[in-house]
Amino acid sequence: MVDAQRSESQAELATGSAIQLAIEGMTCASCVARVERLATRLPGVEAAAVNLATAQATVRYDAAQATPEQIVAAIAQGGFQATLRTADAAADDAAAAARSAREQRSLWRDLWFAAALTLPLVLLSMGPMLWPGLGEAMTALLPRGGWWWIEWLLVTPVLLWAGRRFFRHGVPALLRLTPEMNALVMLGTTSAWLYSTVVLLAPELFPEGARGVYFEAIGVIVTLVLLGRYLESKSRGRASAAIRRLLALQPPTACVVRAGGEEEIAATQVESGERVVVRPGERLPVDGKIVEGSSYVDESMVTGEPVPVARGVGDEVIGGTVNRSGAFVYVATRVGAATVLGQIVRMVEEAQAAKPPIQALVDRIAGVVVWAAIAVALSAAVLWWGLGFGVDHALVVAAAVLLIACPCAMGLATPLAIMVGTGRGAEQGILFRRGAAFQAAAEVDTVALDKTGTLTLGAPQLVAIEVADGFFADDVLAQAAAVEQRSEHPLAEAVVAAAQQRRLQIGEVTAFAAEPGYGVQGEVDGVRVAVGAWRFLDRLGVPVSRPLYEQAARWAEEGRTAFYVVIGERVAAVLAVADPVKEGAAAAIRALHGMGLRTLILTGDHRATAEAVARKLGVAEVRSEVLPADKAAAIATLQGEGRRVAFIGDGINDAPALARADVGVAVGSGTDIAIESADVVVMSGDPRSMARGLGLARRTFKTIRQNLFWAFVYNLTLMPVAAGVLYPFWGVLLSPMMAAAAMTLSSLLVVSNSLRLRRASLAA
């Protein structure tokens, strides 16, 4: 059965309007849940998907009930700044990069400021314990209370200035009763600062044993949290570099032909129908069709294949690709967001913004984690104080719980892995259109593949020729091509193409005649030449030699179409035409089997042909003579057996099957990538890329599970430790400083684990 979450996602795509927003002020998974609630509470908003890693939101709404301005205002009321993204992806990306750079610079300044004051603060506080002589020297210079006041002077600007972002976001969040990470850090550090300041001002209010200060802990906590945020910000920038690299593929200018001659203009100003001049070494600014000249074009940014391909008059070319050798002129057919590059960027952005079903559960859990942390912190503090451990002990426990419970790692676990995975795929010409594909691919156990155009080239080619004694292959082929060039049959086209590929001299035919169902004949240089099936030989009264007949029979068993060439009164040769298996198809099947996946071929071709291809590739199961409309029914049958099915097809006649499958993988042509029925689009026709796409999806979801495992284990295990459950047994108590360090470490582990996908091997 098709996953309900995926069906709902597709339904949302099909109805209503959608906007993308850049969101500022989010720091953890609870912020994500909060922004989504703010948007969906607005009448007319159907769905909202927020991505912490990209700091973006996709909101779908009914334009009759809500407007983008109202959605932005609703989010702003929650304390977050929302900016509407435009159709100009490059400008939006530049603006986002500028915001990220400003945030990094601000974090870097505050981090250095906090570290510069915290270092002497720690030396003053911890130095006497490490070096007893230092403690005696300090006491001789100034009483302990005087040194505490110096610590207060050092830590106060760290908390109130370097840590101002915690108050700027945390206070409004508390007033709205929607606490998040900033609120937790603010509560933990402020309570410690207030307690320590009261000890300084009125020590008599506390028992002798409770007259301690925690200024060094406050400084270390603020510094560590700032360090974690700075490193996260840098890491997110590396993770989102894929889109920036894609956008950088479009050159800034284009040379167009106008009334006054050639003119250099901005690439964004090229209009459809204009003639564009491209010289060697230049990138193509937009998509189009060549009208003058030829060249070799490096299309690796689309197909992932490094070998340049020949392009001449009539061929389509793609914006962002590189012209390697000759110069040519082409007519612009797609510009702006409609180009292949523009569609790639849109697909990558949409996939990065989308969420797999598991993320919805994570967001719901994160929404209550903060409240749970506050409840545990207060309960633990009251309990320890009630047990007579003193207010200082209760304060340490409460602060540690608040700091350890921040769901930063939860918020980054899924979107960061998806961001890196989609970027890695885009570099290889593998586009993920939906975030749910990562989870669905991990659950797939069966892969159904279309044959024609997916595993085979999709066009008949001459694959073999066997000549009778006294004849030469090239001579026979040239004469057969002379007759076949007058025919419109697909097999005739294969013969002519083979002769042209061998650069044979094809003569003129006279007295041409075609007999449907049998073959064609004519005179070439005064000699009768006939080409057709064995039954044509009976009609012509020409016998075939036993070796040629047996060879034709063997080819038929292999799924090849065999036919004969008669020259004069003799059968000169037997030809074999087939739809050749693509290079790499066998390797792709082996890779799928290596993943433990069951494979089968779904094709409308004849059983003999389909089974011959299956034997060659090592596929054990074949369902042949299946109409395109019936492929979806075949997949439904597999799903009814409890199978989770991925279907790989060409994305045109296979659209119903692609939509029905749990994961649809469409083979794009390089210029036809907007295949709305698929979850994954493979830009090149290389079957190995299809296997790589599924492999990358599974590996990405494995990374998501690893991230979530760490994030949940971290919170579930360390929150009770911070609350002091181990203290009565082993005297283990987690200090606020250690809690802050653990919180930072958890986020960095999730980030670094996700970034490993950038170096993922996609070999197949």
Give per-residue pLDDT as tens, 487-507: 877 678 888 988 888 888 888
Long-range contacts, 748-751 (Cβ 8 Å, 24+)? 748/228, 748/231, 748/232, 748/235, 749/409, 749/710, 750/409, 750/412, 750/413, 750/416, 750/707, 750/710, 750/711, 751/231, 751/232, 751/235, 751/236, 751/239, 751/412, 751/416
Tens digit of pLDDT for each residue in 75-102?
A: 888 888 888 876 665 566 666 667 777 8
* pTM score: 0.66
- What's the whole-number mean pLDDT along residues 136-142? 74
Q: Is the pLDDT of residue 590 over 90?
A: yes
- pLDDT score, position 156: 94
pLDDT recorded at residue 677: 63
Helix axes 215-239, 144-157, angle to 10 degrees: 20
117: closest CA among 209, 259, 215? 215
Q: What's the whole-number mean pLDDT along residues 332-348?
A: 78
* pLDDT bracket for residue 109 (50, 70, 90): very high
**Which of 317-321, 395-399, 578-582, 602-606 shows the highest mean pLDDT?**
317-321
661 is written with which tokens?
A: 């499958």
More confident residue, 755 or 357: 755
Whether residue 11 has pLDDT greater than 50? no
User: What's the token pair of residue 54?
Assistant: 């990209």
Region 118-133: mean pLDDT is: 79
SS (H, E, C) 720-737: HHHHCCCHHHHCCCCCHH
Model pLDDT for residues 725-737, shown as the tens digit of each residue: 888 888 777 777 6
For 236-277, what is each residue's pLDDT tens digit? Answer: 555 555 566 666 777 888 999 987 788 888 888 888 899 999
Residue 646's pLDDT is 92
Average pLDDT over residues 135-161: 85
Confidence check: pLDDT of 319 > 60: yes
Q: Give residue 2's pLDDT.
A: 36
Residue-wise pLDDT tens digits, 647-698: 988 755 677 788 788 888 888 654 454 355 678 888 777 888 888 888 898 8
Kindly report the length of the chain.
Answer: 764
Report the percent of the chain where pLDDT is more than 70.
84
Percent of the chain topping pLDDT 90: 12
**Is the sign of the CA dihedral 96, 98, 100, 103 positive or negative?**
negative
- The alpha carbon dihedral of 233, 86, 333, 292 has a sign of negative
Q: Is 187 helix (H, G, I), strand (E, B) or coil?
A: helix
Distance, CA of 104 to CA of 68 (rounded, Å) = 29
Q: Does 764 score more than 70 pLDDT?
A: no
Give me the pLDDT at residue 15, please.
42
Lowest model confidence (mean pLDDT) among 95-109, 166-180, 232-246, 598-612? 232-246
User: Mind telling me the catalytic residues?
Assistant: 450
DSSP characters for 673-697?
A: ---TT-SEEESS--HHHHHHHHHHH
Q: Residue 581 has what DSSP assignment?
A: B
Q: How confident is the model at residue 210 (pLDDT cuts 50, 70, 90)?
A: low
Q: Pick 760 or 386 by higher pLDDT.
A: 386
Residue 385 exposed, middle or buried by CB count within 10 Å (0-12, 13-18, 19+) = middle
For 605-621, what is the mean pLDDT? 83
DSSP letter at 406 equals -
User: Any idea what DSSP says for residue 453?
Assistant: T
Q: pLDDT tens for residues 421-437?
A: 888 887 787 888 777 78
Write down the mean pLDDT value for the chain.
80
